[in-house]
Amino acid sequence: MIRKTNILEELSKVNLLNEREKNFQVVLELISSKPTSNNNFDFDKLDENRIFHLNSIKKTCIDFRLRFLDHKYFKNSLPKEAFSEISKLESTHDTILSNFKIMAPSRLFRLKNTDDPLLFVPLGNNYFYLIHKWGNDLHPYRKLLMWPLKNLRNMICFLLILSLVLTYITPTSIFSKVESWSVFWMIYFFMFKAIASIVIFYAFALGKNFNKVIWNSKYNKSI
């Protein structure tokens, strides 16, 4: 059985790499230097494993084609456990939490689904505190499947490789009686041109965009 992707584990790995130069005390000092005006936390009671920097969230969203948006754009209902965690935090820190953020696949901001959402609240200075994770884990190959959609460079590389594979398995005899490298590269050129045209048409027709653009966009409807 192939293990599904736990997005919180992936986020924690990225966060650990990004924050390896800083100890917990330094992180708290950074947060306290520019706290949010709405959420007042007792820093001594924060769990360091639940604090994530925006850069870590951004990279994880781009790698797995996720969104990080205000809770008001989320189309699903929060589970009872999330409300329980919110109440527990508010009681522990003697505060009222607000400005909730959701990290989840794009379709959860358009349709009701249960794929691995994460609920955050801002701490300040681009740091966020994880309140609750629920739902199903992501497809085990999601990161690989979403790799071509990260940016234009990845898409071009993917199309070049795909065109090469398709050219290799296409019988040369269909186009020429003589087998040669010149014929192969000619077929490869037309194969790439045809696939690229289909991808461009599909992207424009459905309003698709790259992960790097949509990860925090509340306007782009792409899934």
* Per-residue model confidence (pLDDT) at position 21: 54
pLDDT at position 37, please?
A: 64
Better pLDDT: 221 or 5: 5
- What are the φ/ψ torsions at residue 116 (nearest 5 degrees)? 50, 55
Mean pLDDT estimate for the chain: 84
Position 59 pLDDT exceeds 90 = yes
Identify the pLDDT of residue 195. Answer: 93
Q: Rounded mean pLDDT of 206-222?
A: 76
